[in-house]
Each structure stands twice: as structure tokens, then as C-alpha cells.
Amino acid sequence: MPETEVSAPKRVQWQTAEVREIVEETPRVKSLALDVAGWPGHRAGQRVDVRLTAEDGYQAQRSYSIASAPETPRLMLTVERIEEGEVSPYLTDEVRIGDQFQLRGPIGGHFVWTADLGGPLFLVAGGSGIVPLMAMLRHRAAAKSAVEATLLYSSRTFEDIIYRAELDALAKDGKLRVFHTLTRKQPAGWRGGSRRIDRNMLAEVGFRPALRPRTFICGPMRLVEDGARHLLELGYDRALIKTERFGPTGA
Amino acid sequence: MSEPPISRGFRGRRKSGAPADRVPPGQHLVSDFPVLSAGPTPHTPLEEWTFTLEDGSKVLKEWTWAEFEKLPQTKIKTDIHCVTTWSKLDTNWEGVSIDDLLAAAGLSEPPAPYIVASCDGGYTTNLPVEDLLDGKAMIATRYEGAPLPSEHGGPARLLVPHLYFWKSAKWVRGIEFRETDEPGFWEALGYHMYGDPWREQRYAGD
């Protein structure tokens, strides 16, 4: 069984979040920094449920990963616009500073990394699957952790890379390596990968299995299914691989 | 709790054709079949696969895959509801009902009031036995007429469609009867012990 910290169940209350800052990460992705009175704190990798209420009382609810480190005062969510979605188009296109909605959390205690767990840390992301992994990297930086970490991150195009500048800055600590792969289109002179994440790429970019890397994979279903299977074939320990699958239904 | 704040400018999609009596509160309909699992998908070869019924640690009955496939087969069409807020209507499953499983093990009645289902990969979930009986649950081995794909829990998953779908444990390999209701994997991580979607029992205390 993957080891997991078990905490006593507590009631998870709905709380009011107020939008304090909006960051355009990519043409389809925005981050919302929120004030949540009485936020109980979270661990990197956890999620929240978001509930929107229309004037006539109609409600819609979805689950989103937390992007911010626990050390940051404001809770940050990063949301990708799903065209057919109901909640994500509102959060990416409509919402303005000062707007309010409800959320509750933190939810999930399995897909979680805290600095005291150590490493090395191998993070594998596809698209907006980067979000909970970014919380881990932000936590690693805020906690001044010297854990060796590698991020393998697949995006469609250069413009679709979320947190690109911040990842570059985090990698300057010399202990974090960031490897991008672009599956649809690569800019001239691109030095990263130019195909989907496959077994060879995982072998080249990842840690040697003997180092027992703590591995987190988050992205679309196929990427996670295949990636986890390849890592097992390469000799990674099943108990140290944690997965979270994102689909368009996260909308 | 106080009135929820209005999310300015939010109208919602309000998809027509979503029958209110089939979509529990806080859920929305999907047409695809999302996959959520905590770790790598296990791939146990069918020749190594067994299914075990236990009372405490006493083995009551064990089946190989070939034996399991010979048990009476039941088909059901049902709606499923995931705690991450998606619901899917009219899914078709085939497998062995828990009623038939108990009968095949020679049990006229269940030996204890609760169970823990255990799975390849180490996942567990807890359930009251009465939620498994009278046609309410099965060990499903086929989905939409084909063998259940591994990412959806194949070769066999528990199917308890009237509860949130994390209770329908993937890659299930056994059921153990227990005198007390002890939390499984997600239940120990703050999810609800019972998980009734119509009462929106997502997390502890709901």
C-alpha cells in the first residue's frame, strides 16, 4: 500500500472565497488568488470543491487542485477553461476582483508531498496536471528544502506552458531540473522534448529507481495510465507512485 | 450555515435533459467515463486472479477466475455518481451479484454486519452488508458488453451504484466480513464512511 498520512476525519465546511488577484497564465488558463476567512491550511497536492451560486439560487460544483504553497497567505487556484464546461468558463472569463464564491477543503490526503517526506521528488505533469505539482514545488522552495527534484512537463505548445517563468526561476536553485516536452508545435531552436511522454523519456529524465524517488503523476488519463505503467516497468516502486487523473470532466 | 454568496454574473449551463430525479445534488452529467485512481493501475493475470470471501481472517470461500466466471451472471443498467461531482446515466454492467456470491459460498445469511473490500494495489473500502444485498451490488466483470478495462477496475470491480463511486472498488480481490465498520482507504483520509450521493455525503461530517 502506498504510505499515506492518516488524519482524523473533520467536517469540511463551506467557506466564502473572495477573488483578490487574477493572473493570466496562458490564453486558456488563469490563476485566482483568494482570500478565504478561516482557511484551515492545506498540504501541497490537495484540492478544494468550488460551488458557484446564481442569483436565482442555481448552483454548480466542481473540484480544483490548489496551486499555492501552504506557506502562502492567499489560497491560489489555477483553472483551465474547458469549452463545454460550466464552472471553468466562469472562473476564467467572467470572474473579477472582489467577486465571491464558495469553496471547501482541503480535500484528499493521498496525492500529497511535504518537505519532511524527503526525496528525490519526480513530478510528471501533462497540461493543467501541473497545478498540484506546482504547489509541491512552491512548498519545496518556501520550506527551503534541499530535496532533489525533477519535473517532466508535457504541454501542447510553448504558449500553453503554465508557470513557465516561475519554473525557470525555481530551477535556478540547482537542485530542481525542469524538462519540458511540447507535443504539437515547437518554437525554432527548441531544446526540450518534442513528443508525448513515453518510456524512453521517463528513463532519460527520471531518477534511477534505486534512488527510490517519490513520484507524482498528474494529467490526462492516458498520460497517467501509460506513465505509471512505464515507471513500474523501469523498476520504480509501486508504493512510491501516486497518481491523479484529470479529464475534461473536471470542468 | 448562512446564505451562500451570489457569484456575480454566474448563470450556469442548466443543461436540459438532465432528469432531476436522477442527478443527485452537486452532481453534473458527463458522457465520457473519467478515471480516478490513487496509484498505478494493477494488471493481475487472470490465471493468478482469485476472489476470496473471509470472515475476519477465516477464509470462507475462494474462487479462481475460471470458477468465478461460472457463477450465475446478472446484468444491470444503472446510474453512477462520482464524489468529484460527475454522474453518468444508464451504464450497463454484468457480473456476479453479492446475493449469488454468498449463496455460492453456502452462506444463508452474512456472518457479520460490515465488510471491507480489498483490492490489488492495496485499496480498501468499507460498507454495511445490507447495502450489498437484494440485488444492490455485484462484482462486475463486464462493462457495456465487453470485459471491464483495467483502468476502470478490470478484471473485476465491486459495483455499488447507489453510493458514491469510490465505494465501487476497482481491482477487487476479496470481501472480508467485519463486526465493526472500519474506515477504508479514502474513508481514513476524510471521505464519508457511508457516501450516499442523495444526501451529499462526500466528506466526514456531511
ipTM of this complex: 0.89
Kindly determine whether residue A90 and residue B10, on different chains, have CB atoms separated by under 8 Å. Answer: yes
Give the per-residue pLDDT at A249.
41
Query: Do A22 and A75 contact (CB within 8 A), yes or no?
Result: no
Give the per-residue pLDDT at A2.
47
Cβ-based contacts of B30 with chain A (< 8 Å): 249
User: What average pLDDT does range B15-40 have in this prediction?
Assistant: 84
Query: Do A43 and A114 contact (CB within 8 A), yes or no?
Result: yes
Cβ-based contacts of B1 with chain A (< 8 Å): 13-14
Kindly determine whether residue A248 and residue B38, on different chains, have CB atoms separated by under 8 Å. Answer: no
Residue A228 three-state SS: helix
Kindly determine whether residue B7 and residue A245, on different chains, have CB atoms separated by under 8 Å. Answer: no
Size of interface A-B (CB pairs under 8 A): 148
Low-confidence ranges of chain A (pLDDT < 50): 1-2, 9, 248-251
Dihedral of CA atoms A83, A86, A92, A94 in degrees, nearest 10, equals: 120
Pairing of strands B157-159, B124-128: unpaired
Cβ of B45: how many Cβ atoms within 10 Å? Answer: 8
Residue B3 pLDDT more than 90?
no
Give the per-residue pLDDT at A11.
77
Question: How far is B62 from B71, CA to CA, in rounded Å?
Answer: 12
Give the per-residue pLDDT at A248.
46
Residue B88 pLDDT more than 70?
yes
Higher pLDDT, B16 or B186: B186
What's the gap between Cα B111 and its chain centre? 21
Q: Please tell me whether the peptide bond between A220 and the residue prior to it is cis, using omega within 30 degrees of 0.
A: no
Give the per-residue pLDDT at B55.
95
Higher pLDDT, B13 or B30: B30
Residue B198 pLDDT more than 80?
yes
Dihedral of CA atoms B88, B90, B95, B98 in degrees, nearest 10, equals: 80
Cβ-based contacts of A91 with chain B (< 8 Å): none
Give the per-residue pLDDT at B2.
67
Question: How far is A120 from A215, CA to CA, in rounded Å?
Answer: 8
Instruction: Give the mean pLDDT of chain B.
Output: 94
Question: How far is B146 from B105, CA to CA, in rounded Å?
Answer: 27
Cβ of B123: how many Cβ atoms within 10 Å? Answer: 24
User: What average pLDDT does range B44-68 have in this prediction?
Assistant: 96
Query: Do B32 and A247 contact (CB within 8 A), yes or no?
Result: yes
- What's the maximum distance between 2 C-alpha atoms anywhere in chain B? 61
Give the per-residue pLDDT at A251.
34
Question: Which stretch of A168-172, B39-43, B162-166 has the lowest confidence by average pLDDT?
Answer: B39-43
Question: Which stretch of A28-42, A99-113, B33-47, B174-188 has the lowest confidence by average pLDDT?
Answer: B33-47
Query: Do A181 and A197 contact (CB within 8 A), yes or no?
Result: yes
B61 CA: distance to closest CA in chain A (Å): 24
Q: Residues near A145 by Cβ (< 8 Å), separated by ≥ 6? A: A115, A119, A139
Query: Do A54 and B8 contact (CB within 8 A), yes or no?
Result: no
Question: How far is A134 from A141, CA to CA, in rounded Å?
Answer: 10
Exposure string of A174-188, with b = 16+ CB inside 10 Å and e = fewer, is ebbebbbbbbeebee
Question: How far is B80 from B87, CA to CA, in rounded Å?
Answer: 6
Kindly determine whether residue B205 and residue A11, on different chains, have CB atoms separated by under 8 Å. Answer: yes
Residue B120 three-state SS: coil
Kindly determine whether residue B12 and residue A60, on different chains, have CB atoms separated by under 8 Å. Answer: yes
Cβ of B16: how many Cβ atoms within 10 Å? Answer: 5
Kindly determine whether residue B122 and residue A2, on different chains, have CB atoms separated by under 8 Å. Answer: yes
Nearest to A164 by CA among A29, A22, A21, A19: A29
